[in-house]
Amino acid sequence: MVFLFTGIFLIILPVNAQITDEIILSLKSGNAKSLSDYFNQNVELVVQENDNVYSKAQAQLIVNDFFSEHSPHSFSVIHQGGKEGAQYVIGNLDTKKGTFRVYFLLKKNDDKDYIHQLRIEKQE
């Protein structure tokens, strides 16, 4: 029984890691379209003066505008964690116009991971 549970855990873990890696790659490259593929239908978004719950399409436009103005150089993960059904990542996004702290929260919805919250805030 323990082997069965361990085997299932090892199958599930790489899928979640792959999704997180794809999101991180989207942040590094400044690709709002691929990032928005992971947005829930409504996303709590904090990006510069935008601080509200937005539809997936609105959130993509806001993030695209941010990436257009702040072209990313790199993204580094500072901390990540979570529990069953939810995980989060905190990192630094280095851009042409400075460093931003990024936080995103993934939650399961219909057995898929979606970004429910995304914050991109200027580091002082």
pLDDT per residue over 55-114, tens digit each?
999 999 999 999 999 999 999 999 999 988 899 999 999 999 999 999 999 998 888 899
CA dihedral for 27, 120, 37, 19, sign (positive or negative): positive
pTM: 0.84
CATH of domain 2-122: 3.10.450.50
Tokens of 37: 């593929």
Cα–chain center distance at 90: 9
Q: Nearest 5°: phi and psi at 96?
A: -60, -25
